[in-house]
Each structure stands twice: as C-alpha cells, then as structure tokens.
C-alpha cells in the first residue's frame, strides 16, 4: 500500500521506533489486528466510515467553556468594586474635613475618570498577554507539521496497522515533543473524509497529569480513525483544512479536556492538504496567564488610584489645617484689634482725666504761690511749703499717668535740661516726709561732697525714680529712719 520511494524511506527511518511503540499500544488492550479500528466499506474510500462506526466513535463533548470570560469579568468586577469603595471612603473622609460639596455627582465623576481608563488598561494587558501566548503557541505547530510531513503522515490510512513503522515513528515523535515541552497538553492530527467527517489519525498517549504514567481512557492512545465530535469542530479547524495556519483562542471542550489550540495544515508530496496538526494548550493555563497579566495591571492601577486618593486626602488635610490657621489668624487679628481699641479708649480716658486734673492742681499751686509775698510765721511757711510740695507731687503723678498713655502710644519724649540734684533730693524727701511721719519713720538726707550738684537730664523722671525708691523704703520700714 505504501508504494512510493518517499513512503518506503519514511518506513525505513521509522523502523527502530517500532518495538518501543508496540508495547505501549498492546498494554492498552489493543493489537495489531484491524478489529481495534474502523474499517472502510467494501469498494469505498479507505478512509470512509459507516454511520454505525460514526455512532460507535461519537464522544460526549461539553459546550465551549466560558472560563476566560468569567475570570476577566470577575477581575473587572473586583476592580470596579474596589475602586468604588476606595473612592467612597476618600469622599467620606474629605467630607469629614469640611468639604461638604463632595456629593454623589463628584463620586460618579471620579469613578468615570478612574474606572474607565483602568478597565481599558486591564483589557490592554489581557490582549497583550493573549497575543504573546498566541505568538508562542503558533510557533510550535508549523515545526511539528513539517516533521510529520517528512515522516510521511500522508501515508497513514484507516486500515494502517498499529505496528506500522511510519505510524509508530509519528507516535514516538509526538511523545518526544510532549516530553520536551510541558507547556503543551496534547499534539494530534486530523483528517477530513469525503463526507465532511473529521477523524483523528495520529494521537499518542498523553500524560495530562504529568505523573509519569498513562492512566485511563483519557490518557490512552487514540485509535486511527476515531470520529471527532462534530459539535467540537471549530471554524478555525475548518480554516486549517482549507490551508490556513490558525489559532483557536476561543476555549473549547472535548472528551479529553478544555483547551485552546493552534492548527496547521499537513500537506502531501503534491502540496495538497491531507490533514491538520493540532497543538492543545490547557485552558486553565491560558486563562491563568491572561488573568495574571490583567491582575498585575489591575494592581498597578489600584496602587496608582490609592496614591492619588491618598494624595488628595493629604492635600485636603493640609488645606483644612491652612483654613483653620487662617481662621485662627483672623480671630487673633480681631482680638488684637479689640485690644488695641480698648487700650486706645483707656489711653484717651487717662489723657482726658490727666488734663482735667492738671487744671485744678495748677490753680492750687498758683494760690500757694501767693502766700510767698505774705508775712507768715515760720511754722505757717513750712506748712505752705509742704502743701506746695504735695500739690507738686500730685501734679507729677498726673503727669506720670499722661506719660503712661504716651508710652503706650509710643510718643513719650524725655526732657533734657540742667537741674540741681541736691534741691531735687530735698524736695522729694519733703514730699515723702509727711507719709513717713505717719509711720513713725524719719527721712534723713545726706549728700556726699563728691556728688556733682548740677546735672543735665530729665529731672521729672529722676524725681519719679526717687519717689518710688523712698516710698518702698518707708513702706517696708516699721520704725527708725530711711537714710
């Protein structure tokens, strides 16, 4: 049956693999007889199968999985929920700081500005990872297809015995590929019959769980010609039969599992498509890789969102403190203004009272001066002198009060003139003598010879100082004298 030179060359190259593959086939209860595989109807196409055979080989397939959509939808929902919670918490905190205008419209606006770009970034990350996986997986199929073509895959028919050297060489090649690349779940070939039925041709044992053993029907070698579930035949697979290399990114499920797959056409020596090679990639790994890329992007977006919201809170707290400081500053300014107004009122009152009190005191002093021309006895003159000194002292106190108002207003001016220190000291002692006599204290004035008498300065301030000193001395001296 395998009559061409190329076919025999493929048989000869595959011969050393025969014995290794026979045992694997027989260990699953399969033999080299034709009873273990479909047979062609007499006089018909050797690859055709009867309706009874089709029913016998019909697998029970599940509908295409939606795991990728559900995973991405869950991630998108999680992102939206977390973004809403973060934004709502930030808005609540801002309102607690006094930003009462932050209402629902603000929240909606922030969410639109945050969620939509975030979802777009997550989708772009998922698309980029999907394209990366497709580019990687698509690269395997043409390499494997070329090697299968060289081994003579086009010579395998429904009646090819399971110990055929070419078939065993293809099986061993599949096993070698699966051992060398753990990312790939399965490698297999299809052929489309004249009636459109798609059958499996070369599908080796597959250790799906990677435990080093082929266990159960799912991991066993598939018989040549097993009919593939028509409901699992995708448009991408049909495109490959038409000569195109395609990738089926839509997750599909058959009796072996749930996958995404790359398909590449297999051509015979005439360049015609005689079959399709398929490379399966686990859907869980596919969705997991895409979900991890999407999750990483979501984490970046949420981290950026958290930083933005934290910055907004920090700025809001800073603004709140600045507003509180400004409010306190205004209050202090108002308090200072009130205090200044009060001080000004007090100063005005003291100035007016001082002016009003100086007028009658000046009259008293003028009247006392009239006694200087009168003929008075010595005791009377001493009395008049004491009255004059007391009136002068009172006038000085009034002037001191006026000076206080000038000090508060910053308008105090010192007088500079020549005066007699001895006369000033005696005058102060005479004024304070009456108060000291009432406490049984005597004031004694002694001026050293080396003390200059004529001084230049402000006698009024010197008199104030001496009166304060003598007054304190008299106050804290119970009896005796102040010298």
- Which position has the higher pLDDT, 223 or 70? 223
If one compares 396 and 428, the residue with the highest pLDDT of the two is 428
Cα→Cα distances 426→375, 420, 429, 471, 481, Å: 24, 10, 5, 14, 15
More confident residue, 103 or 133: 133
pLDDT at 50: 40
Predicted local confidence at residue 318, as pLDDT: 86
Alpha carbons within 13 angstroms on the beta-carbon side of residue 95 total: 13
List, for residues 438-465, the tens digit of each pLDDT value: 778 888 888 888 888 888 888 877 887 8
**37 has a pLDDT exceeding 60:** no
Beta pairing class for 441-443 and 480-482: parallel
Between these two residues, 252 and 225, which has the higher pLDDT value? 225
pLDDT digits (tens, 9 = 90+) for 361-407: 777 777 777 777 677 777 777 787 778 777 777 777 777 777 766 67
State the average pLDDT over residues 225-243. Answer: 92
pLDDT digits (tens, 9 = 90+) for 38-95: 333 333 333 434 433 333 333 333 344 455 567 778 888 888 888 888 888 877 877 7
Return the pLDDT at 216: 85
Indicate the pLDDT class of residue 17, thresholds 50, 70 and 90. very low
Give the Cα separation of 223 and 344 in Å (integer). Answer: 113
For residues 321-342, one letter each, b for 16 or more C-beta atoms within 10 angstroms of the residue's C-beta and e for the rest, the string is: eeeeeeeeeeeeeeeeeeeeee
CA distances from 81 to 74, 122, 303 (A): 10, 15, 15
pLDDT class of 172 with cuts at 50, 70, 90: very high
CB-side neighbour CA atoms (13 Å) of 167:
25
Residue 68's pLDDT is 59
What is the distance between the alpha carbons of residues 68 and 277, in angstroms, rounded to a whole number? 24
Residues β-bridged to residue 66 = none
Neighbouring CB atoms inside 10 A of 6's CB total 14
For the chain, what is the mean pLDDT? 77
Mean pLDDT of 136-156: 90
What per-residue confidence (pLDDT) applies to 8? Answer: 32
Residue 30 vs residue 410, higher pLDDT: 410
**Does residue 3 have a pLDDT over 60?**
no
Distance from C-alpha of 424 to C-alpha of 436, rounded to nearest angstrom: 18
Q: How many CB atoms lie within 10 A of CB 451?
A: 10
15 pLDDT above the threshold of 70: no
d(CA 376, CA 378): 6
Q: How many Å apart are CA 470 and CA 392, to the nearest integer?
A: 17
Is 419 within 8 Å of 455 (Cβ atoms)?
yes
Per-residue pLDDT, averaged over 248-252, amounts to 86
CA dist., res. 294 & res. 188, Å (int): 31
Q: Two tokens at 343? A: 């001080």
270-308 pLDDT tens trace: 999 999 999 998 888 888 888 889 889 988 988 888 888
Res 235 pLDDT > 80: yes
pLDDT value, residue 409: 66
- The whole-number pLDDT of residue 67 equals 56
Which pLDDT band holds residue 192 (cuts at 50, 70, 90)? very high
Q: Which of 403, 453, 391, 395 is nearest to 424 (CA)?
A: 453
pLDDT per position as a tens digit, 120-138: 888 898 899 889 988 888 8
Residue predicted with more confidence, 29 or 112? 112
Is 479 in a helix, a strand, or coil?
A: coil
Instruction: Say how far apart CA 164 and CA 44 lie, in whole Å.
Output: 22
CA gap 391, 362 in Å, rounded: 8
């Amino acid at each position: 049956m395998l009559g061409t030179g190329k076919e025999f060359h493929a048989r000869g190259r595959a011969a050393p693999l025969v014995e290794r593959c026979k045992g694997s086939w027989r260990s699953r209860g399969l033999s080299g007889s034709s009873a273990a595989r479909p047979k062609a109807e007499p006089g018909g196409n050797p690859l055709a199968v009867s309706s009874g055979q089709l029913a016998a080989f019909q697998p029970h397939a599940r509908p295409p999985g939606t795991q990728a959509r559900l995973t991405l939808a869950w991630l998108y929902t999680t992102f939206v929920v977390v973004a809403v919670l973060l934004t709502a918490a930030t808005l609540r905190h801002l309102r607690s700081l006094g930003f009462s205008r932050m209402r629902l419209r603000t929240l909606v606006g922030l969410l639109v500005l945050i969620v939509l770009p975030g979802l777009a970034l997550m989708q772009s990350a998922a698309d980029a990872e999907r394209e990366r996986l497709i580019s990687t997986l698509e690269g395997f199929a043409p390499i494997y297809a070329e090697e299968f073509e060289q081994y003579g895959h086009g010579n395998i028919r429904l009646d090819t015995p399971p110990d055929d050297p070419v078939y065993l060489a293809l099986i061993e090649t599949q096993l070698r590929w699966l051992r060398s690349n753990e990312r790939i779940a399965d490698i297999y070939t299809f052929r489309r019959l004249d009636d459109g039925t798609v059958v499996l041709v070369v599908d080796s044992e597959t250790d799906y769980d990677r435990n080093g053993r082929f266990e159960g029907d799912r991991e066993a070698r598939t018989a040549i010609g097993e009919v593939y579930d028509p409901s699992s035949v995708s448009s991408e697979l049909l495109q490959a039969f038409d000569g195109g290399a395609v990738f089926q990114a839509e997750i599909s499920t058959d009796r072996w599992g749930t996958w995404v797959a790359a398909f590449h056409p297999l051509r015979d020596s005439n360049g015609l498509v005689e079959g399709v090679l398929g490379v399966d990639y686990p859907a869980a790994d596919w969705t997991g890789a895409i979900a991890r890329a999407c999750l990483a992007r979501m984490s970046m977006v949420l981290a950026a969102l958290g930083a933005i919201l934290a910055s907004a809170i920090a700025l809001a707290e800073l603004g709140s403190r600045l507003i509180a400081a400004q409010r306190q500053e205004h209050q202090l300014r108002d308090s200072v203004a009130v205090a200044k107004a009060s001080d000004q009122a007090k100063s005005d009152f003291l100035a007016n009272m001082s002016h009003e009190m100086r007028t009658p005191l000046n009259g008293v002093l003028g009247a006392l001066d009239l006694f200087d021309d009168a003929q008075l006895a010595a005791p009377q003159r001493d009395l008049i002198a004491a009255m004059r000194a007391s009136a002068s002292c009172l006038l000085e106190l009034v002037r001191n009060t006026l000076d206080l108002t000038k000090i508060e207003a910053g308008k105090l001016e010192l007088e500079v003139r020549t005066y007699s220190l001895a006369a000033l000291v005696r005058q102060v002692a005479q004024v304070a003598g009456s108060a000291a006599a009432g406490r049984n204290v005597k004031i004694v004035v002694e001026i050293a010879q080396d003390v200059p008498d004529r001084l230049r300065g402000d006698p009024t301030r010197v008199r104030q100082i001496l009166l304060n000193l003598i007054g304190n001395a008299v106050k804290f001296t119970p009896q005796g004298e102040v010298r």
